[in-house]
Structure 1
Amino acid sequence: MLVLKKIIAAVLVLASLAASVFALSLCRSVTRSAEHSTPDAEAEATAAAEGFFACLRARDFAGAYGYLANYSSLGLETPPEDEISLLYWNAAQDAWAFSVDAGYERNGALLEKRAACRRLDLSAVSDAVGAEVRAILARRVDEARLRSEIYNADGSYREDVAYAALLEATQTVLRDTAPYQYDQRVTLTLSRAEDGWRIEADAALISALTSGAVRR
């Protein structure tokens, strides 16, 4: 039970990637224009979307947030302190890959562009880590000379043994995340500001950027 709780906690702590999203008090700084879409408008909106993703790939979070209309931060720049959570954090961001579709749709004063965000399947990762933890603990039991090396007096796993197994399992599974990656399709909504187009970050985009750890 302790091991499973730690597995779940390690996955959920990835939510610290964007924990500040819900706590931030933000103001809209964008003034929307009712002007008609033009080829230049589409090109500018595409450039804004591609610029946002390029900054994320470069880990230039300040630059990326400059492309957002409704958030000053998504918390993506603040890594967790826990070693296991940091492994998930790095794996999620290392998996990032983005593409922006050609074309757009008009929605009143807004432009909508389709894009793809590569992310991790945290449920699959968690299952793989859990299986690896069980295998590691089974080996530890076989290798132990004394029961007290593995178990507490009440029969539960010692915390240091469980944590070491979870750390090793997480490192093993996240060494190659390709089997756990997939592209999530999102619609980017862009609004016109005085100095260009800005992205209205929504739940789908936030979920994609945090590998589903944060949903609204």
Structure 2
Amino acid sequence: MSNPKQAFGDKKPPLAYIPLSAQLAELEALYDGMLKYDPHNWRDTMVEAMTYVEAAMRHLQLYKVGEELTRDTFVKNLGAVKACCSILIDAAAHGTLIDNRRKSQVEADLLHQGEEWVERLKAVHKERLRQRQQAELKATIVLDELSEETVRNLANDEVIAGQFEELSESLPGYPPNPAEVGTPIPLVDGFLDPGTRFPPWPYESPSA
């Protein structure tokens, strides 16, 4: 048989789900405000919504750039953000909130629509990176098929040498690094390591 008190309590809001650490941070900020002003002063006089919106934004920005505590009374900036939000909610519940927000459904929609261009740009740049890595790997494989002797022989042909020089200079990391002949091509997930100087073996320029 279940406990009747438990069955009754299960119908109530589970306040225990609010982390105590967050409650204490908020309480610290509210207690600081109580000592400066009066407890629940926002219930006694009308308060403007934007006053607390802007205060919350300032505290959040300070936390964002690395300031954990306020500079005057050393309470947690995040606790102050929660306190501002609590005052807004409580003032609205008690009918003492002046809603002076500049509302704009257009701006709200634009913010939600931002998810679309974020995903689009991520996809575009991911594909560009894939294509660049494939092109670099393809060029590496083609050049790797040429022996060092063949490359030096090509230097005797001015036309071919010029084409090879143009190709080499167009590749990232030119001139090549002084790796040993036969050094394995560094691959990451099947693609040329983007941090590798290209080509990764010591072929000399045909014009040298």
What TM-score, normalized by structure 2, do the two folds share?
A: 0.32
In terms of fraction of residues, the more strand-rich structure is 1
Question: Per chain length, whose mean CA-contact separation is higher, i.e. which structure has more relative contact order (CA < 8 Å, sep 6+)?
Answer: 1
What TM-score, normalized by structure 1, do the two folds share?
A: 0.31
Higher Cα Rg: structure 1 or 2? 2
